[in-house]
Homo-oligomer: A and B are copies of this chain.
Amino acid sequence: MSLILDTTSTTPPYEQLRDQLRLQIVGGTLPPGSRLPAIRQLAADLGIAPGTVARAYAELEQEALVLSRRAKGTVVADTSPNAGTALLSQLAATFARQAEQLGVSADEAVRAFRRAYQGP
């Protein structure tokens, strides 16, 4: 479980948490049926208040990405297969807007991306 918080950012911790979990769920790193860490456990690990973790989980539940069952914890829901594609499109669009504002060509942006990419 790689979850990292930047406490100096103005992005609230619950959003950082929610966004990272969403990526891992939709991308399959956290497959349907797997359990998220218990709220108190994760809060302790990250050194934040339980309410903050709870809020991140609640927002994911509202997006139907997880299910919270009393006393059973929070488990990853079955996700629609195109959720990943939709999220990727959205993230790509953000980068595209930035490149456009920078006045950078598509090819330049792609080269910068390939230089940065180290993944699978």
Contact = CB atoms under 8 A, between A and B. Distances in A.
Interface of A: 2, 7, 10-12, 15, 20, 23-24, 26-29, 69, 84-85, 87-89, 91-96, 98-106, 108-110, 112-120
A108 B26 CA distance: 15
Contact of A88 (B12, B28, B108): B108
B114 A100 contact: no
B105 A120 contact: yes
Number of copies: 4
Tell me the dominant secondary structure on chain A's binding face: helix
Given A69-B7, A95-B91, A96-B119, A26 B113 contact: no
Interface centre among A26, A69, A100 (most CB of B within 10 A): A100
A91 B99 CA distance: 8
A115 B102 contact: no
Contacts of A100: 117-120
A112 B98 contact: no
Nearest to A101: B23
A91 B89 CA distance: 16
